[in-house]
Structure 1
Amino acid sequence: MKKTILIIAMIFAALPFRASANEGMWFLMFIERLNYRDMQKMGLQLTPEEIYSINNNSLKDAIVQFDGGCTAEIISDKGLVLTNHHCGYEAIAELATPQDDILTNGFWAKNMSEERKPKELSVRFFVRMDDVTKRILGVVNNKMSEREREQAINREIAKIEKENNEGGKYTVSVRSFFQGNEYYYFVYQDYQDVRLVGTPPNAIGKYGGDTDNWEWPRHTGDFALFRVYADANNQPADYAPTNQPLKPKHFLPINIKGVEKGDFTMILGYPGRTNRWMPAEGIQQNVDYAYPAWVEGSKLGMDVMKKYMDQNDEVRINYASKYAQVANYWKNRQGMIEALKAHKTADKKRKDEKKFDKWANKTAQKKVYGNVIKNINAYYKATNTKARHDNYIMTTLRTSNLATLPFSMGRALVQYANANEAERANMKSYLEEAINDSYNGFYAPLEKEMLARQLHLYATKSTGYEIAPYIKTLATKNNNDFSGVINQAFDQSVFASKENLTAYLNSPNAEQITNDELYKISESLLIKYREMPQNLVSLKENYDKSFRLLVDGYRKANPKKKYYPDANSTLRLTYGKVVGLPLGNKVNDAKQNWYTTLKGTIAKHKAGDEEFENPQKLIDLYNAKDYGVYANMHGELPVNFLTDHDITGGNSGSPVINAKGELVGLAFDGNIEAMAGDVIFDKKLQRTINVDARYILFIIDKYAGATNILDELKIVK
């Protein structure tokens, strides 16, 4: 028996799923047990209770999930929120007009009455979490199919969520971790009245644009300010002029001493998604099939949007947020392909899986784990071309409003037509609001070209897997040229404009929807995207079970190691140090390569270039070296700096916190050299790019003159 244990330990000694230095996205409730000693050795001066406490105020009370997809932090006792400019981009763009283009020019409220409310913007506070693994797994057994297992778990989840929401006061979410081997519930409180306080102009907040995205050295002032409002009892409330600024349980002081190389720092935030446990053939599928399709479809969508955005300011503002989102993922996926190939990640995983397979088939657990790798590989082999197909459809749906809107809205319109008068009266106001929202900023020439070109790409490039039947019929009939089809369909469609749909509400006819050409195209795409062919059902069942057992087996084989779960938009802590990055042939402007300065920002200046043209006032401040109290010991104004934290999308806007619990920076990006970070952690190259807190305050103070904002901050000198 001892010999068997020794062999198992040797086999799993090199597996990549254990946390190494600075790797890991950790649950706050386990900080004391798993991380505290390590953090202390690195320089942390806080106690675990000061980071996460249920009964007392702690750091976690200052961290919020921003608008469902980013992170932000409370930085004043009046509910002031700091996050990334790119996280607030959609709200800023919504509030901008050609006559008052705050996206381009920036905006700073002089007092609270000038703060602006977007239509929909919320923040989520984390209240507490707890482990319900035993309870959840107690309702399942090994005789259940994966579908039966899922149904039983969902029933128990519903009970847990109801038990803990205190009559609807809180939002409760039970989440799966380690591929269904552990379960935890999270209690949140959501605030819906969030208003824009200040934003730098695009030329600062988005400096470097797509060219510098994911790159180092970087010179971006990627921040924006919002405020949370509450009712008279400090509780969540819909927008009302009588609402008051939130009185937070905790807010972060801002330290302007700055950071030095080697300093301990930590980041709390809501990382969106990682796939560190992904099997080898899943990685290979992404590299060869899924990501190339995503990259190609995204680039086409960007090109179409850019064409019309450059011609019209109103179009530029209305499509700015969508363009930025598509561009970000386009570069991300291209970088992932290159990084995963360079690291030979799939090959390394295959070696690990070979060791797992050897272990699984030599122990008494063969019946449980023996076919795990075989089942996983069979599923990926059968779905490679489907993955490519699905990603061409996905980028069509992400870039084209006409690919999704007709089907999603059309079903409600059919229901409306078939309803009686009383039912229609109840539905009409909802539909009118949905129509107004859907066509706000809709630009027909762009949308027509987008759909036609994306359908051409889908029909011609999605080989090896049958495309949507109706799209195939149109492609065959028109030699893959969809421009004439879409133009004609648009001329006759009820979905061509807000006016057409409003007229439909006054004279509804279900057949008008189901016979509408744009509806049929949209329906065909979405049904195809959601399909699960019968020949894949059993393979998917085996895959789901086998993936769960793969993760379970890895952890059981080496139980003394510290493991962290993949990111899934739940609050995590990651910690590390301020550290540089090998430059290669790149040139930096600072004394050392772990930070950049305003000198480098100005050196990149290109008059008339939308990515690298600096505002004249920023140039003037640089020339005068008018940095106020925000310069470092070398007389430089720091702009961005690097840490070796383990973050991913969703961490955007996360605070970089020093050993004393003070904010020293704002995380906003990663580096291209470690683009495979969602799958593997590269301890040599993985970096987080952060805005220096001193640059944020410099822009608020010296550039914007928004001293009213500075007055409510707690600044540590």
Structure 2
Amino acid sequence: MKKLFFCLLLATFILPVKANEGMWFLMHIERLNYVDMQKMGLQLTPEEIYSINNHSLKDAIVQFGGGCTAEIISDKGLVLTNHHCGYGNIAELSTEENDYLNNGFWAKNHKEELKPDNLSVRFFVRMDDVSKRMLAQVNDQMSEDEREAALNKEMAKIQEENSEDGKYTVSVKSFYSGNEFYYFVYQDYNDVRLVGTPPKDIGKFGGDTDNWEWPRHTGDFALFRVYADEDGNPAEYSEDNVPLNPKYHLPTSIRGFEENDFAMILGYPGRTNRWMPAGGIEQNVEYAYPAWVEASKTSMDVMKKYMDEKPQVNLDYASSYAGIANYWKNRQGMIDALKQHKTAKSKRKAEKKFKKWAKKQKTDKYQEVMPVINKYYERTNESSEHRNYLSLLLRTRIATVPYRLGKTTEYYLTQNEAKQAEILPELEKEISNLYDGLYLPLEKDVLASQLHLYAKKANDIAPMVKEVADNNDNDADAWQKYVDDVLENSIFKSEETFRAFLNNPDIEELNNDPMYALSNDLLTRYRAKSEEVKEWDDKYQKAFRLMIEGMREQNPNEKYYPDANSTLRLTYGKVVALPKDPSNDARENYYTTLKGTVAKYQPGDEEFDMPKKLIDLYESRDFGQYADKDGYLPVNFLTDNDITGGNSGSPVLNGKGELIGLAFDGNIEAMAGDVIFDDELQRTISVDIRYVLFLIDKYAGATHLIDELTLVK
């Protein structure tokens, strides 16, 4: 795939939007997309996709855990999402004795389903445009702080008006950098339980090696269930809760599909930056992303050493490691893709056209936009590098635990006895949460390594870090000794030492604690902004908003979609094939098979090991009703849908709105896709729903779950 020649498109605000480009609001589908979607194979009406008064597809799509997407697939609240989306919850529920992460888990009935802490799903109820109302609160004479204050005040009113006395969560969001505003109404359910997960050797087959690559052979799925009170309302966990009877659940198709068949995806894409100027791209490629990549690898190397030594440490840090590893490869892929396709150069051409257009306008409103934006990036290049080194340092848990606990404890100790009694339960809970699964030897080594890297590579570093580095020539061994010393003499060394302090508290001891001082120093530096930086931030925000406004005026006949920001969107395209790849045994290179999965099998390998039962099922060809009409068992497939992070777990639907797959990844060649869309490059990698059902039925023997589904044969 990497050897193919691809034609990079210019920025989305200059050339027409391609048929498969865009992350669209559901309320705009009828006006902007419906005709195109019908031509491509959609058989539903807009009302069947998004309706306020009647059930529709949107009622089956949920935001899962705040950072992924999932879908309701039965009338008993059964939820399907990615294995990697549930990874942290599965790891949390696992122990050395019951290692669900590595061995899998399948509840035989509702009573066996497991409740992780703090897992919720969010249902989308409705949305509406409040742009006129919001923009009436601001004017061009306001500073950015004044503008933000006025907008926040109006947002609070809108949220209050639509919450129905707290029944719903309401969020007003800015789009096109403050040129439009919409509010979104949600309903949250907090009792969500694990129903089933394949073992890691299936759910994460291929590991980091195959991540962002094609061909893929991963069974990246997990099942959960939403519970409610007897009336179907959200309720905190209780044994009396019952499975939710949802407004709508997706029918599941096992009929298969062909190349060029229509495919649409509904989900919660996290973030894109399609309007990012050339200066921002250059900053990321040259400064910000290289720092992220280097700092991520530093943490990963240390973590892996301890995770390989102790199974419980591996479970406790599995989710954290996976998250760092995912973005490590993502950021390196972004660097390579943006450089290879000269994305900044393409953006720069578009910006020059915009500047020429701006000079021809009757107003000078847009003439200083690009000079201000370019100057901003020049002034912030080095600080973006610094911020990324420091960001990864602060991902070390022990670096932030003292700050978080210390600030709460300071407040607690200054209150009267009655107030302390009120605060103490929450403080106790926070202590348990922050120290849960924390392994001090790993934490100390990661912290020492990150401090050494930060002091070596970043500019204008935190004062305490600079002092230690200067006094020891930034020696790696000296950093290790420093971390050992400050933690040995700290009340934050362990949950036991902190609780001992809390039993006999002394605010002076807290304020003199060396680890608390270091943690404060790092967080203070991370949040610090000089008056000059604040001034340039304000200039940039205004200029960026005007740039988008002006570019939309420049091309008034184009269809536009806003950047992703974790709100529900729809993207549509087709099942697509790539040129034949000798590493893929499939007849056409838009799908992979179980045969290809077994061909990758490496006994004992962390990434490519495989359960013997799966091999036995392959050798006996016991595929049941899930085999393709040509006899093979499909595993993964490709579409050209426009997705990004947050779409993990999103349903892939055919033209009838039937579930055919589960999106879980993109391709490394399209890493520039968050900044600039290329319809030749952009690919979504999904698990074929037939492979999911095969694993539930034939591998796990959980036929009772198959019986819940609405199967379309």
Q: State the TM-score, normalizing by the size of structure 2.
A: 0.97
- Alpha-carbon separation, structure 1, partners of 2:199 and 2:34: 40
Q: Which residue does 2:645 correspond to in 1?
A: 649
- Alpha-carbon separation, structure 1, partners of 2:16 and 2:490: 56
Which string of whole-angstrom CA distances, capped at 9 and with x for unpartnered residues, describes residues 363-404 of structure 1? 2122x1010000001110000000000000011112x11111
Which one of the candidate residues 374, 395, 401 is aligned to 2:371?
A: 374
- Alpha-carbon separation, structure 2, partners of 1:115 and 1:506: 38
User: Which amino acid in structure 1 is aligned with residue 583 of structure 2?
Assistant: V
Q: Which residue does 1:323 correspond to in 2?
A: 321
Which string of whole-angstrom CA distances, capped at 9 and with x for unpartnered residues, describes residues 382-438 of structure 1? 00000000000011112x111111112111111222222222222222111111111
- Alpha-carbon separation, structure 1, partners of 2:633 and 2:199: 19
- Alpha-carbon separation, structure 1, partners of 2:532 and 2:426: 41
Q: Which residue does 2:627 correspond to in 1?
A: 631
The question of whether the paired residues in 2 share the 8 Å contact of 1:19 and 1:564 is answered with no
Moved more, 53-62 or 15-24: 15-24
Change in Cα spacing, 1:13 to 1:238, as seen in structure 2 (3 Å) is closer
Question: 1:529 is paired with a residue of what secondary structure?
Answer: helix
- Alpha-carbon separation, structure 2, partners of 1:364 and 1:79: 58
- Alpha-carbon separation, structure 2, partners of 1:108 and 1:13: 47
Pairwise mapping of residues 173-188 of structure 1 onto structure 2 (< 5 A)? Answer: 173-188=171-186
* 2:688 is the counterpart of 1:692: yes
Which one of the candidate residues 428, 433, 436 is aligned to 2:432?
A: 436
Question: 2:592 is paired with a residue of what secondary structure?
Answer: strand
Q: Which residue does 2:399 correspond to in 1?
A: 403
- Alpha-carbon separation, structure 2, partners of 1:583 and 1:561: 35
Pairwise mapping of residues 59-70 of structure 1 onto structure 2 (< 5 A)? Answer: 59-70=57-68
Moved more, 67-76 or 430-439: 430-439
Pairwise mapping of residues 389-468 of structure 1 onto structure 2 (< 5 A)? Answer: 389-398=386-395, 400-462=396-458, 465-468=459-462
Which one of the candidate residues 451, 468, 474 is aligned to 2:468?
A: 474
Q: Which residue does 1:597 correspond to in 2?
A: 593
User: Which amino acid in structure 1 is aligned with residue 112 of structure 2?
Assistant: E
- Alpha-carbon separation, structure 2, partners of 1:88 and 1:663: 20
Pairwise mapping of residues 72-221 of structure 1 onto structure 2 (< 5 A)? Answer: 72-221=70-219
* 2:570 is the counterpart of 1:573: yes
Identity fraction in percent: 64
- Alpha-carbon separation, structure 2, partners of 1:275 and 1:17: 17
- Alpha-carbon separation, structure 2, partners of 1:373 and 1:211: 41
- Alpha-carbon separation, structure 2, partners of 1:508 and 1:16: 63
Moved more, 167-176 or 504-513: 504-513
Which string of whole-angstrom CA distances, capped at 9 and with x for unpartnered residues, describes residues 611-661 of structure 1? 001100000011111111111122110000000000000000000001111
* 2:652 is the counterpart of 1:665: no
Pairwise mapping of residues 251-290 of structure 1 onto structure 2 (< 5 A)? Answer: 251-290=249-288
Report the Cα offset of residue 142 of structure 1: 0.9
- Alpha-carbon separation, structure 1, partners of 2:298 and 2:427: 32
Pairwise mapping of residues 530-609 of structure 1 onto structure 2 (< 5 A)? Answer: 530-582=527-579, 587-609=583-605
Q: Which residue does 2:342 correspond to in 1?
A: 344
Pairwise mapping of residues 292-371 of structure 1 onto structure 2 (< 5 A)? Answer: 292-366=290-364, 368-371=365-368
The question of whether the paired residues in 2 share the 8 Å contact of 1:76 and 1:713 is answered with yes
Report the Cα offset of residue 479 of structure 1: 2.2
User: Which amino acid in structure 1 is aligned with residue 309 of structure 2?
Assistant: Q
Which string of whole-angstrom CA distances, capped at 9 and with x for unpartnered residues, describes residues 444-489 of structure 1? 1000001111000000011xx3111111111112221311111011
* 2:710 is the counterpart of 1:714: yes
Question: 1:369 is paired with a residue of what secondary structure?
Answer: coil
- Alpha-carbon separation, structure 2, partners of 1:180 and 1:249: 34
User: Which amino acid in structure 2 is aligned with residue 432 of structure 1?
Assistant: E
Q: Which residue does 1:3 correspond to in 2?
A: none
- Alpha-carbon separation, structure 2, partners of 1:524 and 1:13: 41
Report the Cα offset of residue 261 of structure 1: 0.3
The question of whether the paired residues in 1 share the 8 Å contact of 2:576 and 2:638 is answered with yes
The question of whether the paired residues in 2 share the 8 Å contact of 1:261 and 1:578 is answered with yes
- Alpha-carbon separation, structure 2, partners of 1:262 and 1:702: 30
Which string of whole-angstrom CA distances, capped at 9 and with x for unpartnered residues, describes residues 156-188 of structure 1? 000000000000000000000011100000000
Question: 2:571 is paired with a residue of what secondary structure?
Answer: strand
Change in Cα spacing, 1:13 to 1:395, as seen in structure 2 (3 Å) is closer
Change in Cα spacing, 1:61 to 1:347, as seen in structure 2 (3 Å) is same
Which string of whole-angstrom CA distances, capped at 9 and with x for unpartnered residues, describes residues 312-343 of structure 1? 00000000000000000000000000000011
Q: Which residue does 2:491 correspond to in 1?
A: 494
- Alpha-carbon separation, structure 2, partners of 1:259 and 1:500: 60
Structure 2: gaps (5+ residues): 1-9
Q: Which residue does 1:7 correspond to in 2?
A: none
- Alpha-carbon separation, structure 1, partners of 2:11 and 2:463: 50
The question of whether the paired residues in 2 share the 8 Å contact of 1:161 and 1:172 is answered with yes
The question of whether the paired residues in 2 share the 8 Å contact of 1:581 and 1:685 is answered with no
Report the Cα offset of residue 583 of structure 1: 5.5
- Alpha-carbon separation, structure 2, partners of 1:571 and 1:31: 13
Report the Cα offset of residue 582 of structure 1: 3.6
Q: Which residue does 2:3 correspond to in 1?
A: none
The question of whether the paired residues in 1 share the 8 Å contact of 2:12 and 2:676 is answered with no
CA RMSD of aligned residues (A): 1.1
Which string of whole-angstrom CA distances, capped at 9 and with x for unpartnered residues, describes residues 205-247 of structure 1? 0000000000000000000000000001100000000001001
- Alpha-carbon separation, structure 2, partners of 1:522 and 1:346: 37
Structure 1: gaps (5+ residues): 1-11
- Alpha-carbon separation, structure 1, partners of 2:207 and 2:11: 43
- Alpha-carbon separation, structure 1, partners of 2:11 and 2:123: 39
User: Which amino acid in structure 1 is aligned with residue 465 of structure 2?
Assistant: I
The question of whether the paired residues in 2 share the 8 Å contact of 1:428 and 1:505 is answered with no
- Alpha-carbon separation, structure 1, partners of 2:577 and 2:231: 47
User: Which amino acid in structure 1 is aligned with residue 359 of structure 2?
Assistant: N
The question of whether the paired residues in 1 share the 8 Å contact of 2:12 and 2:677 is answered with no
Q: State the TM-score, normalizing by the size of structure 1.
A: 0.97
- Alpha-carbon separation, structure 1, partners of 2:436 and 2:219: 29
Report the Cα offset of residue 540 of structure 1: 1.4
- Alpha-carbon separation, structure 2, partners of 1:416 and 1:536: 34
- Alpha-carbon separation, structure 1, partners of 2:28 and 2:708: 34
The question of whether the paired residues in 2 share the 8 Å contact of 1:17 and 1:276 is answered with no
- Alpha-carbon separation, structure 2, partners of 1:709 and 1:561: 46
Question: 2:492 is paired with a residue of what secondary structure?
Answer: helix
Report the Cα offset of residue 17 of structure 1: 6.6
* 2:508 is the counterpart of 1:514: no
Q: Which residue does 1:484 correspond to in 2?
A: 481
- Alpha-carbon separation, structure 2, partners of 1:570 and 1:597: 34
Report the Cα offset of residue 589 of structure 1: 1.4
- Alpha-carbon separation, structure 2, partners of 1:14 and 1:304: 41
Report the Cα offset of residue 699 of structure 1: 0.1
The question of whether the paired residues in 2 share the 8 Å contact of 1:294 and 1:391 is answered with yes
User: Which amino acid in structure 2 is aligned with residue 716 of structure 1?
Assistant: V
The question of whether the paired residues in 2 share the 8 Å contact of 1:17 and 1:277 is answered with no
- Alpha-carbon separation, structure 2, partners of 1:13 and 1:129: 28
Report the Cα offset of residue 350 of structure 1: 0.7
- Alpha-carbon separation, structure 2, partners of 1:29 and 1:613: 45
User: Which amino acid in structure 2 is aligned with residue 382 of structure 1?
Assistant: R
Question: 2:84 is paired with a residue of what secondary structure?
Answer: coil
Q: How many residues align?
A: 701
- Alpha-carbon separation, structure 2, partners of 1:376 and 1:17: 22
Q: Which residue does 2:5 correspond to in 1?
A: none
Question: 2:309 is paired with a residue of what secondary structure?
Answer: coil
